[in-house]
């Protein structure tokens, strides 16, 4: 690698009429590297072209951050800091995979330009990001979120909301989708969305779920005087005015059940 030099200071030359000035020697001097500076270049591993705007972060051996900077239009970077005996380098930019180095001795990095190569990241599709809350703006955890292609009955993917009511889908291809949000104590909600190529991250509207008005149930066992279950016994449910509203028959174990009952007072008759 050739020595790194810095430009000389400009020397002024004046040419008058019928006069020629002789410019003295220009002496190039080597650049003085700061012992606390790490320098280098970042390029695309496929094309070899320099990459601008790469975040270069220097950490200690345990990945504790020390300092960072960004590469310029030519892919060059310099990071200053008080570096320990060994450091790790992390380089990242949107559209590329993250590069992280092994622990390098700081002494070996002095007066040496680092050449970092970033590999273009594979296409992981789009990301859908959403949140679910109840009517009181409280985040809802554990809500099952299922995504379907718009005209399909087969789930494309599913997930659950976290404790902050947030959910994420990735690897989503452009197209139309249907999202179902379900929970035992809440009414189901359906979202119809269209995911285009222009937005790698699609932020969905916040969904507010309504709590179900749960109905009551009544069940029991019909037995004879010897405490033996009676099968196929008629059981009648009456309201507070003793008007029959539901009927059923016991099974082989004498068990019966009524369900979807509004709050109130009921009576049971059996035959």
Sequence ranges of the domains in the chain: 5-118, 126-209, 216-270
> Mean pLDDT of successive 10-residue segments in the chain (271 residues)?
52 61 58 68 94 94 93 92 90 91 82 86 84 94 94 92 95 91 91 83 92 84 91 91 91 91 88 86
The 3-state secondary structure of 11-77, one letter per residue? CCCCCCCCCCCCCCCCCCEECCCCCCEEEEEEEECCCCCECCCCEEEEECCCCCEEEEEECCCCCEE
Regarding beta strands 86-92 and 99-100, do their DSSP bridges make them parallel or antiparallel, or are they unpaired? antiparallel
Query: Tell me, what's the pLDDT at 1?
Result: 36
Per DSSP, 8 falls in state: P
Q: Residues 126-209: name the CATH superfamily.
A: Immunoglobulins (2.60.40.10)
Asked if residues 159 and 165 have their Cβ atoms less than 8 Å apart, the reply is no
In degrees and rounded to multiples of 5, residue 107 shows phi and psi of: -55, -35
Query: Domain 216-270 is of which CATH architecture?
Result: Sandwich (2.60)
Residue 202: name the closest of 179, 226, 236 by CA. Answer: 179
- Rounded to whole angstroms, the Cα distance separating 2 from 111 reads 12
Q: What is the tens place of the pLDDT at every residue in 119-140?
A: 998 777 889 999 999 999 999 9
Q: What local confidence, expressed as pLDDT, does residue 260 receive?
A: 83
Global confidence as pTM: 0.54
According to the model, what pLDDT value does residue 18 have? 60
What is the CATH code for 5-118?
Answer: 2.60.40.1120
Q: One fold for both 126-209 and 216-270?
A: yes
Q: What is the pLDDT of residues 181-210, one digit of tens each?
A: 999 889 999 999 988 777 788 899 999 999
Q: Specify whether the CB–CB gap between 264 and 246 falls below 8 A.
A: no
Name which of 174, 140, 178, 175 is nearest 158 in CA terms.
178
What was the pLDDT predicted at 200? 82
Contacts of 162 (CB under 8 A, 6+ apart): 141
């Amino acid at each position: 690698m050739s020595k790194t030099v810095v430009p000389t200071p400009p020397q002024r030359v004046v040419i008058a009429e019928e006069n020629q000035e002789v410019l003295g020697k220009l002496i190039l001097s080597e650049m003085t590297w700061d012992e606390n500076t790490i320098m280098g270049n970042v390029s695309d591993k496929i094309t070899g072209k320099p990459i601008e705007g790469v975040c270069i972060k220097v950490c200690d051996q345990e990945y504790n951050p020390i300092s960072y900077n960004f590469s310029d239009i030519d892919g060059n970077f310099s990071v200053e800091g008080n570096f320990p005996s060994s450091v790790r380098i992390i380089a990242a930019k949107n559209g590329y995979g993250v590069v992280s180095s092994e622990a390098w001795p700081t002494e070996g990095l002095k007066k040496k330009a680092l050449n970092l190569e970033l590999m273009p990241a594979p296409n992981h599709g789009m990301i859908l990001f959403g949140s679910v809350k109840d009517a009181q703006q409280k985040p809802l955890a554990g809500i099952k979120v299922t995504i379907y292609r718009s005209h399909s009955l087969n789930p494309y993917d599913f997930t659950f909301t976290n404790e902050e009511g947030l959910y994420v889908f990735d690897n989503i291809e452009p197209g139309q989708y249907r999202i179902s949000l379900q929970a035992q104590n809440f009414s189901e909600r359906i979202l119809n969305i269209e995911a285009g190529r222009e937005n790698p991250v699609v932020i969905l509207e916040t969904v507010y779920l309504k709590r179900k008005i749960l109905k009551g149930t009544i069940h029991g066992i019909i037995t004879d005087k010897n405490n033996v279950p009676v099968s196929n016994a008629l059981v009648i449910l009456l309201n507070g005015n003793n008007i029959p509203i539901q009927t059923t028959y016991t099974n082989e174990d004498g068990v019966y059940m009524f369900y979807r009952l509004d709050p109130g007072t009921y009576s049971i008759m059996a035959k």
